[in-house]
Every structure is written in C-alpha cells, then in structure tokens.
Amino acid sequence: MTDIQSTIAAERTDLVAVLRNLSAADWDRPTLCEGWRVRELVAHIVMPYRYSTPRFLLGMLKSRRNFNRLANRQAAADAAALAADELTKTLEDNIHHQWKPPGGGYEGALSHDVIHGLDLTVALGIDRHVPLDRLAVVLAGAGEKQLKYSGVDLTGTRLQATDLDWSLGTGEVEEDTAENLLLRISGRRLPG
C-alpha cells in the first residue's frame, strides 16, 4: 500500500509542477475531457479533497445518482468560484491525501490522476510523459468495466503497447504507446 501511495504522490507532484507552469490563458483552453477547460478539469481532480462523503452523497441525490451529471455541475461551479492558484494549491496541499474512488482502491486513484493529467498535457501539447511504471499499474487494472464505462468497443481489436508489455482485447492488432492506448480505452480522442 505504501508503494502505490508513493506512486500517487509522485504523479500529483508532477501535475502540480505542470499547473504551476501554465499561463493564465492556458487555464481557459480545452482539454481532452469534452466540455471541460483546464480549470474545470483541475476542479474535478481536486473535488475529492474538497467534498465530504455526506456532501458528495447529497450531490449524487440531487444529480439523480448520475455521477457524470454531478461531476459536470461541480466542476463548473468550482471552476467559477476558485482561481487557478487556489485550484493548484488544493492539489499541492493534498499530494499525500489517501482518497480512493469507491470500488477503485488506490489503483483507481492513480488511474484518475494519470488519465486526467494526460487529458490536460496532451490537449495543451505539453511534452510530459507519464513514467512507464505508473502506466503499467493503471493499465493492469484496465478491462471490460473501464471499456463499458467509457463507451469503448474493442470487438475484433487487440490493443498492443509499443513501449510496455501490455495488451487488451483479441483480434486485429493495433499498436501505439501505452499513453495513447490508455487515452483510447478511456474514451478520449487524440488531437490532430
């Protein structure tokens, strides 16, 4: 458990460094998360540190138990209420926070941070790559549940990483980097 928590802390530390180097204009640029600019994405990333379990559950009830509806509403509200430096400071203050998504464990927390970090860096063209050991942990937990949640159909396709010993699916082989494949199975469209 300590190992995965150190890995999560390292990913969050890297993300804070990226955020500290963004310009004011960057915070209003779109990310790979449809409809979210950088500020909404970061507001979403720090949501677990800002909301108690009762407040989260109340939000879920108000959202008719639809997490995506809740996430969109809270990201918009928090992005409007908090300045970029406040959002960054919230992440920085919670680098060692032990949040984990329901049913996802610490691997799910790492996955959350890695995927959303890529949503930002890839969209903005920032030359930052997730270390392969972190990607290996995230991809080890990838499977049918994630594909279903993301609305991704791999019928007849086998994804094969070119930089990591990882594959998913059966059928015609499609090769790409582990980062790009993670984004694909997360339902993201790469720019360009």
**pLDDT one-digit tens code per residue, 13-32:** 999 999 999 999 999 999 99
The string of DSSP codes covering 67-134 is HHHHHHHHHHHHHHHS-HHHHHHHHHHTTT-----TTTHHHHHHHHHHHHHHHHHHHHT------HHH
Q: Which residues does 59 contact at the CB level (< 8 Å), separation at least 6? A: 51, 70, 73, 74
Strand-pair partners of 167: 160
**Is 123 found in the same domain as 37?**
yes
**Is 143 found in the same domain as 84?**
no
**Is 122 found in the same domain as 55?**
yes
**Is 59 found in the same domain as 10?**
yes
∠ CA 135-126-159, rounded to 5° = 35
153-172 pLDDT tens trace: 999 999 999 999 999 999 99
**Is 108 found in the same domain as 140?**
no
**Is 169 found in the same domain as 92?**
no
Q: What is the pLDDT of residue 116?
A: 97
> Torsion angle, CA of 62/65/66/68, rounded to 10 degrees?
70
76-126 pLDDT tens trace: 999 999 999 999 999 999 999 999 988 789 999 999 999 999 999 999 999
Provide the number of structural domains found in the chain.
2
Whether the CA torsion 76, 139, 90, 21 is positive or negative: it is negative
Q: Which helix (H) or strand (E) holds 153?
A: none
Range of the domain at 139: 131-192
